[in-house]
Structure 1
Amino acid sequence: MAGGDRGTPRRDTRGGDVARGSGVSRRAAVLLGCGVATLAGGAAIASRCARVTGSSTRSSSDSSASGPTLDQRVSQAVASLTLEQKVAQMFMPTPEALTGVGQVTAAGETTRKAFASVPVGGLCYFAQNLIDPSQTKQMLASADAISRDEVGLPLLMAVDEEGGTVSRIGGNDGFDVDNVGDMRDVGDTGDPQRAHDVCEGIAGYLSPLGFNLDLAPDADIVSGTSQTMARRSFGTSADVVTPMVGQAVRGFLDGGIMCCAKHFPGIGGVEGDSETEAIQTKRTLDQMRGKELLPFEEAIRQGIPMVMVGHLSCPAVTGDSTPASLSKAIVTELLRDELGFDGIIITDSLQMGAVSGLHSASELGVTAIQAGVDMLLMTPSLGESYQGVLDAVSTGTLDEARIDESVARIVRAKLGYAS
């Protein structure tokens, strides 16, 4: 997955297409809720974040002299979308998967045509898409303008920017931004404020570029011999990781960007790598409650807008080898019902080896949605997965009301953070 929307042979000096009709001059300001609220103090931040995630103690449907409430705006926005548009909002592919272009570094006519066909809810960008600040700002602004033109909603523009070994901007030669380093080193300081400051700093360079979602922080607790998460996690115990994750969430939100705790219910103690193979934990639910779930619970308390579910199997919890991302017992019964999370639940990449062979591309998204997932990250075939969900609604396998539930959560986040 690599950097330019090359819908025509015409190329600019950055390797992307000439962004004709891209709407760059119409770039919408990214007024991210929690970042704006920072100006008014901590109470305002907490109120805004709670409202967006649906955890406010005061109903957002209360009447307001200033206009429609957030609940009313969400309902109106969802009602304005066709079924095809609603289903598309549940997908977050790479720009390459959306356009069919080998390397996307701009959002021009090719992106506009692709978006008209499948107006996805978000795009996930990687280092190959990001050349320098000017190019990145123009690309993201253009993509957002296209989304607003097509469906009247901002686009979730996401990046994996954890720091250390997972960094697309920090340390990238095209950007004058240092890599903040591994979160393990942050955890080793024993100071949660350090996690806050580092993540607020990451938000501070992502937001001006146009990103409104960072797929971080990592909320896993490292144990066992696997080194997959060794440097990405804040540490090896719940006592260390839990407060670090909580303050990381506050740092991102205080810095004006949405964030995503991952990889629920915790892959830090699992052997192997879900990128290439099936992974499994032998932990029971009671054991998880006393360890792995604690950082996620803290993230929820701090107003996390999104949680990513990993692909680990939890047979001691679910009774079978179904990956967590496709399991109703994990997604709905545990994360949604027991932990009370009402923000966006997104899968880990559905191209990973741990899930890629379990279902066809047309069935995979349906299975995840049946489990309770709201957004599908990087399905193996965007077109097939998208059509598969539409067909499932047509046949009654999925109810449109179930689609509406997820779309309402997605729209709520967009209107609360990125309008």
Structure 2
Amino acid sequence: MNKVIKIFTGIISLFLICTTHLGAVEPPFLKFSNDEWVNKQLDSMTIDEKIAQLMMLTAYPTQNDASKNKVIEQIKKYKPGGVLVMQGGPVKTTSWINEFQENSKTPLLIAIDGEWGLSMRIDSTVEYPYAQAIGAIKYDAFVYQMGRDIGNQLKDMGIHMNFAPVADVNTNPENPVINFRSFGEDKKNVANKAWQVAKGMQDVGVIPVAKHFPGHGDTHHDSHKTLPVLTHSKERMDTLESFPFRYLAEMGISGIMSAHLDVPSLDDSGTPSSLSKKIITDYLKNEIGFSGFVVTDAINMQGVRTQSGNAELEALKAGNDLIEFVPDLNKAIESVKNGIVRGELSTAEIDEKCRKILALKRWVNLNEYQPTDIKYLRHRLHSPYFEMTSRQLVKGALTVLKNTDNILPVEHLDSFRIASISIGSDNITTFQRRLEKYTVVDHYFLPKDASEKDLSRLHVLMEDYNLVIAGIQGINVYPSRQYGTTEIQRRAVSELTRKNNSIAVFFGNAYAMKHFENIENVQGLILAYQNNELTQELAAQLVFGANQANGRLPVTVDSRFQLNDSIEVASNSTLSYTIPEEVGVNSGQLEKKIDSIALLGVEKEAYPGCQVLIAKDGKVIFHKCYGYQTYEKEQQVKKENLYDWASLTKVTGPLPALMKLVDKKEMNLDAPFSNYWADFDGSNKRNITVREVLAHQARLASWIPFWQMTLDKQKHLSSSVFKHTPSSEFNVRVSSNLYMNNHFRKIMYDTIRDSKLLPRSRYLYSGLSFYLYPDIISNITGESYEEYLKKNFYLPLGAYTITYNPYKYFPMEDIIPTEKDDFFRMGTIRGYVHDEGAAMMGGISGNAGLFGTTNDLAKLFQMYLQKGYFGGRRYISEKTVNEFIRIQYPNNSNRRGLGFDKPLTDNNKNSLKDAYPAIDASANSFGHSGFTGTFAWADPDNGLLYIFMSNRVHPTRENQKLYQLNIRTAMHQAIYDCLKDN
């Protein structure tokens, strides 16, 4: 039965596809051809005004008021149909448009060349990918959305018409004018992509104009400078060059732009196509059946100027309805009027064309014209929803052309020593900085004008690495001078990628790759099409697997790289970095809420500074720093800073190792703890189980102030335990100038063993067992505890900053200071663990001691959130993670998991001030806090990860304002509120 249903569904789908193309769709504006407003306007116009309606002036808002006033003068005097706006800023351009409209008898059609959005002409606006990159995208949804976005942005500036999309099929790689502006060389792909963009604009009420009919894709000359000749047969023109325009006409596009081309197979008179009745009327309108309006390409271009200077008249005679970029409006109107007198053009034809222009104006609601609101214009034009579309387009375009041995995505990060090289750049790039998010990478760059000595030096340096990631940059969009590349740049790519295990990311026009010898020999090759910050950022994420790749090469480069070449690469569940809108959260709302709470804490001196990271569904959507490292405000908090994680160490140090040991059946949660810590044999702790200990249900004392055990009768540190200089006996470093007797650790262990148990089994948070786990883990694995963690977790995760005793590995200025200790270590604690007991373990303990960046903590916690899987590797089984994060003793008023903290019982019934963590945190959520002011919480039900980092103990632990102001809980709840609101 299911098979029959599938067959029937297929037949219906086929029928719908076929019937969709039985007849051409009428352009939407034509329904207003006989509208009352249109008729009224037409009836009120003189012949001069009707002719002027078919003309479009040009304005340059980058220029001064004198230029603007000249345009206004022409508008008042000649009453043209519209204005084409060129370069300018959004506010100034919109202000000019408002003034133009204010001075026009009939509302003006405002047009722009916005092939990749407003940014083609208007600065400080969202930049969408070039058409070549759009041509690489496999799926249509975001291409259509781009059209809608562009349309909405145009409307927000008072612009009604876009001279886009380019529908030329670029079959000539050396094309000097179309090239990257085309969606590619596959006519069907070009036609479809052009329609998706056009439909998006048209669906929001903006007029799309496809260009350059009958097809500019196989020209060797620029029609701005001369008249290109297309020598193809009529059959070729029918089946290739004009194919996208036929498709667009059939789908109901409103406008098509005529190109300035000499096409003998369509008109052998040598007349430019834009001035040819055979091409515009006979071919486009009659044979192809286009019923929309036709506008010329810029009529001032050298490829179209006539000897008699009457190009405007000839264009209208040919069948064009609108003339763009008219240099002399008075002369053009007179030329057309004289043509009417000579009988070359009738008033009825003028009326018909004018009616089309007025119908367009009616369709875009110019019958009810209102000035454009400039207030908050920049903010509206920079909506993060527009950025989200751009991000999706860039991701969808990225095309993998080589992936030998599945080098992409880069995994097993601990096996690589990685260098990045920017070839063709004068500095470290955004691409390289984004690579740092994933693992340790050493950066180099080689400018386009580098010397032989520079290249030789780079060769030597690369010998120290087993993976080189090269970003190839500095590539022009047009083909002259080998796309602006240099010999040293091309040689660098050839030599460095041939001699090294390498990945290359090509940030430029696809055609330019043909000039790079041996680039096909890299193990991994990503074509990124463009070179801007967003493309660099997303390409770096692709390298490590944050995003999938399914782009397809839209052109043929040479025999190495041909049309539709593509290698699909799946994402591997590593972290990606994006904007909140990608997961359905309003970024303005989220930022406002988090900023207000974080800055309140700074203002009230709950901490000198803090850091907040939020990830949703594996995507980091918020990571921001506030304040300074200290109240002296000498160093701002930076994302690269390392924090003392305090008790977060419990769930990031011993806990992942213990989970792995449980996985390997080398530890049994229900076995006596004494099985793994023999010192408990014969003690009052011999029968407590590992589960009880990890769930804080083992009757253990909460803590022991070990340092106070070392005080002499004068309350000074005993000289038998501590010295200010190291020796073979005093070699446990506690701080920068304090060393402990290495025998005292045994006393600490004995004290834990001999400590009293609570009288009955109940929940009491205890850190005592965590002092013992490093030795337990080392004993079971036969490896150093810290090395075991780094080898099995931190380095494979790319979390290379997670470490004990960071003073050994990182500059002190990168490490956030904690307390000014005036009772034990007598100085500001920086780079050394804050917790006194962990310090007496040499900084390496299970209860405290780990340091790291916020980003690296996020990797470890995201691995937990993904139930033990991250970056293409399984670290812990899902079963084990689930066991550790569930409440172990729910019937004993104990909320704890194994090691992990859990929400308060009935937390969702609490008020915000009594909740822990947020009220809306799910019962399945888990995390931990740290005494120094740190906090990490993961919610698998919502895919949410929240990390808060601060040094609230600076300069003193007595500062309780972090808790009094309820900063962490309030911020956590604010995130859930943002999720609910969207």
2:51 maps to 1:103: no
Task: Specify the SS of the correspondent of 1:290.
Answer: helix
**Superposed displacement of residue 193, structure 1:** 2.6
**Structure 1 match to 2:325:** 378
Contact 1:186 1:194 in 2 (8 A): no
Asked if 2 retains the 8 angstrom alpha-carbon contact of 1:137 and 1:209, the reply is yes
Q: 1:87 aligns with which of 30, 33, 51?
A: 51
CA offsets per residue over residues 361-411 of structure 1, 9 Å max, x none? Answer: 3x2111111111111111343221221112222343321111111101111
Instruction: Indicate whether 1:162 and 2:115 are aligned.
Output: yes
Q: Does 1:196 align with 2:144?
A: yes
Separation of aligned partners in 1, 2:332 and 2:68: 24
- Is contact 2:250–2:290 with CA below 8 Å preserved after alignment? no
What per-residue deviation string (whole Å, max 9, x for no partner) do you get for residues 22-75 of structure 1? xxxxxxxxxxxxxxxxxxxxxxxxxxx946443x6xxx7xxxxxxxx8444433
CA distance in 1, matches of 2:348, 2:149: 40
Matches within 5 A, 1:122-201: 122-127=82-87, 130-131=88-89, 133-147=90-104, 150=105, 153-163=106-116, 167-169=120-122, 172=123, 175=124, 177-201=125-149
Contact 1:221/1:235, CA 8 A, preserved across alignment: yes
2:641 corresponds to: none
Give me the whole-angstrom Cα distance separating, in 2, the residues matched to 1:105 and 1:214. Answer: 25
String of CA shifts for 1:301-326, please: whole Å, max 9, x gaps.
Answer: 33322110000111012122111000
Letter in structure 1 aligned against 2:329: L
Q: How does 1:52-63 map to 2 (within 5 A)?
A: 52-54=28-30
Q: CA 1:154/1:396 → structure 2, altered by over 3 Å: closer, same or farther?
A: same
| Structure 2 counterpart SS, 1:94 | strand
Query: Is this contact kept in 2: 1:300–1:341, CA < 8 A?
Result: yes
Structure 1 residue 258: deviation in Å? 1.1
Counting only pairs closer than 5 Å after superposition, residues 289-300 of structure 1 correspond to structure 2 as: 289-300=238-249
Cα separation, partners in 2 of 1:241 and 1:110, compared to 1, 3 Å: closer
Distance 2:118 2:94 in 1: 24
Residues 417 and 114 of structure 1: CA distance in aligned 2, closer, same or farther (over 3 Å): same
Q: Is the 8 A contact 1:190 1:240 kept in 2?
A: no
Question: Distance between the aligned counterparts of 1:271 and 1:237, measured in 2?
Answer: 19
2:74 match: 114
User: What's the secondary structure of 2:338's corresponding residue?
Assistant: helix
Please identify, of 72-81 and 277-286, the stretch whose mean Cα deviation from structure 2 is larger.
Answer: 72-81
Deviations 1:102-150 (A, max 9, x none): 93569976544322221100111111xx23x332222212212322xx2
CA distance in 2, matches of 1:280, 1:51: 31
User: In structure 2, which of residues 185, 188, 208 is the aligned counterpart of residue 259 of structure 1?
Assistant: 208
Higher relative contact order (CA 8 A, sep 6+): 1
- Aligned counterparts of 1:146 and 1:188: Cα–Cα separation in 2: 44
2:314 aligns with one of 350, 367, 376: 367
The whole-number CA distance in structure 1 between the counterparts of 2:300 and 2:53 is: 19
1:403 alignment partner, one of 342, 350, 367: 350
Aligned to 2:171: 223
Aligned partners of 1:107 and 1:140 also within 8 Å = no
Q: Which moved more, 1:297-306 or 1:263-272?
A: 297-306
Pairing partner for 2:40 from 76, 79, 82 = 76
> Within 1, Cα distance between the matches of 2:102 and 2:117?
32
Q: Is residue 176–residue 222 contact of structure 2 (8 Å, CA) maintained in 1? A: no
Report the CA distance shift for 1:70/1:401 in structure 2 as closer, same or farther (over 3 A): closer
SS of aligned partner of 2:304: helix
CA distance in 2, matches of 1:228, 1:354: 13
Kept after mapping to 2: 8 A contact 1:85/1:119: yes
- Contact 1:107/1:139 (8 A) holds in 2: no
The partner residue of 1:316 within 265, 270, 282 is 265
Aligned residue for 1:4? none
Q: Can you give the 5+ residue segments of structure 1 that lack an aligned partner in the other structure? A: 1-48, 61-68
Structure 1 distance, partners of 2:167, 2:27, is 23
Contact 1:106 1:139 in 2 (8 A): no
Determine helix, strand or coil for the equivalent of 2:181.
coil
Matches of 2:36 and 2:197 in 1, distance apart?
A: 31
The answer on whether the counterparts of 1:95 and 1:104 sit within 8 Å (CA) in structure 2 is no
Pairwise mapping of residues 1-40 of structure 1 onto structure 2 (< 5 A)? none
Q: Is the 8 A contact 1:215 1:261 kept in 2?
A: yes
1:391 equivalent to 2:338? Answer yes
Query: Is this contact kept in 2: 1:107–1:142, CA < 8 A?
Result: no
Q: Which moved more, 1:186-195 or 1:325-334?
A: 186-195
**Normalising to structure 2: TM-score of the pair?**
0.33
Aligned residues: 341
State the AA in 2 paired with 1:90.
L
AA matched with 1:93:
L
- State the Cα distance separating 1:82 from its structure 2 match: 0.7
Secondary structure in structure 2 of the residue aligned to 1:346: strand
Structure 1 position 412, deviation (Å): 0.8
Change (3 A) 1:111 1:353: closer
Give the stretch that moved more between structures: 70-79 or 323-332: 70-79
The CA distance in 2 between the partners of 1:86 and 1:165, in whole Å, is 30
The structure having more radius of gyration, on CA atoms, is 2
Q: 1:327 to 1:200 in 2, by over 3 A?
A: same
Question: Residue 261 of structure 1 aligns to a residue in which SS?
Answer: strand
TM-score by length of 1: 0.76
Secondary structure at the residue paired with 1:316? coil
1:204, distance to aligned residue in structure 2 (A): 2.4
1:289-368 alignment runs, 5 A limit = 289-356=238-305, 358-361=306-309, 363-368=310-315
Q: Given residue 407 of structure 1, which amino acid in structure 2 is its aligned partner? A: C
The structure in which a higher percent of residues are strand is 2
1:192–1:227 CA distance, 2 compared to 1 (3 A): farther
Supply the distance in 2 between the matched residues of 1:397 and 1:227 (Cα, whole angstroms): 36
- C-alpha contact 2:27 2:253 (8 A) present in aligned 1: no
Cα deviation for residue 93 of structure 1 reads 1.8
- The aligned counterpart of 1:12 is none
Distance, in Å, in 2 between the alignment partners of 1:303 and 1:388 is 33
Quick check: 1:306–1:344 contact (8 Å CA) kept in 2?
yes
Residues 309-365 of structure 1, C-alpha deviation per residue, up to 9 Å, x if partnerless? Answer: 000111012122111000001100111112222222111111111112x3333x211
Which secondary structure state, in structure 1, belongs to the residue aligned with residue 202 of structure 2? helix
Question: What letter corresponds to residue 347 of structure 2 in structure 1?
Answer: E
Q: Is the 8 A contact 2:143 2:196 kept in 1?
A: yes
Distance in 1 between residues matched to 2:232 and 2:246, nearest whole Å? 18
Letter in 2 for 1:118: Y
CA displacement, residues 199-253 of structure 1 (integer Å, 9 cap, x when unaligned)? 2222222210111111100000001232421110111111211111111111111
Letter in 1 for 2:194: V
Letter in 1 for 2:113: D
Does the CA-based 8 Å contact 1:184-1:231 persist in structure 2?
yes
- Shifted more, 184-193 versus 304-313: the winner is 184-193
**Cα distance in 1 for residues equivalent to 2:313 and 2:39:** 24
